Amino acid sequence: MKPVFSTSEPPILKVTGRNYGYPVRRIFCVGRNYAEHVLELGNKVEKKQPFYFTKSAFSLLGSEKNLTYPPMTNELHHEVELVVAIAKPLQKANREDLKVSIFGYACGLDMTRRDLQSIAKKQGKPWDMSKDFDGSAIIGKITEAKKVPDIRKANLKLFLNNRLQQHGQISDMIHSVDEILLDLSKYTQLIPGDLVMTGTPAGVSAVKPGDLLVAQIDGLTELKVKITE
């Protein structure tokens, strides 16, 4: 069928050192996955099951770009996160399936309208407007998994105007990458093009126009973004 208007193609993420890209389909995000961050937002640490929210692929912003400060917020927070890119279909996965299931990893920023999220939490309402807006999923170049010696040993850091603002270890995750993929694949079939943002360590804070954000995870390509009016 001929569409009544032409739509934009899904975004494509650059892959470090390659001349091909990774077309993005869905973006899943894990909430409350580092204990100290759970506590800094006044929540309880629970090791039961991960929980998820999503961002549209069209909310994606690449590295070396400007993020226009979004409307309807006075408290835009950065959350530095490890992003996992899926390589193979995964449904009700077992540990054996996971071995070849990850295409690569990237640095990500789960940008959050914290003021709207706090209201939504109090009222038991959905998080969409606090989590999924234009440019809210900032994701850098993907580094292929085979080029990353052991992501579990990596540090993740967020520099706000060249000052270290968040610093955590992947090993501090409450639910590991494997545990997340095993669990998430019970709910939906993950397929190539799907990304998972795996939660943020402590130190989240507000940004303003003019700020420079740099995210680093050992072994991965750095992510850089500037906030503009």
Segment lying near Mn ion (by CB under 5 A), choices 44-52, 158-166, 181-189, 192-200: 192-200
Nearest distance, CB of residue 54 and Mn ion, angstroms = 12
- Of 130 and 200, which has the nearer Cβ to Mn ion? 200
Give the residue, chosen from 59, 136, 200, 221, that forms a contact with Mn ion under the rule CB under 5 A. 200
Q: Which residues contact 99 (CB under 8 A, 6 or more apart)?
A: none
Question: Contacts with Mn ion: how many residues (CB under 5 A)?
Answer: 3
Residues 6+ apart with CB under 8 A from 87: 100, 101, 102, 103, 104, 145, 192
Q: Least CB distance from residue 225 to Mn ion, whole Å?
A: 16
Which letter, b or e, does each residue of 52-83 get, where b requires 16 or more Cβ atoms within 10 Å of its Cβ? Answer: bbbbbbebbbbbeeebebeeebeebbbbbbbb
- Closer to Mn ion by CB, 35 or 89: give it: 35
- Give the angle subtended at the CA of 219 by the CAs of 104 and 147, to the nearest 5°: 50
Is residue 132 a contact point for Mn ion (CB under 5 A)?
A: no
Nearer to Mn ion, 15 or 50 (CB): 50
What is the enclosing helix (H) or strand (E) of 228?
A: strand 223-228
- Among the listed residues 11, 15, 38, 79, the single contact to Mn ion using CB under 5 A: 79
Cβ distance to Mn ion smaller for residue 166 or 200: 200
Judged by CB under 5 A, which of 110, 132, 194, 211 binds Mn ion?
110
Of 110 and 132, nearer to Mn ion (C-beta) is 110
Query: Smallest distance, Å, CB 200 to Mn ion?
Result: 5
| Burial class of residue 140 in the structure, from the number of CB atoms within 10 Å of its CB (0-12 exposed, 13-18 middle, 19+ buried) | buried
Query: Residue numbers of the site for Mn ion (CB under 5 A)?
Result: 79, 110, 200
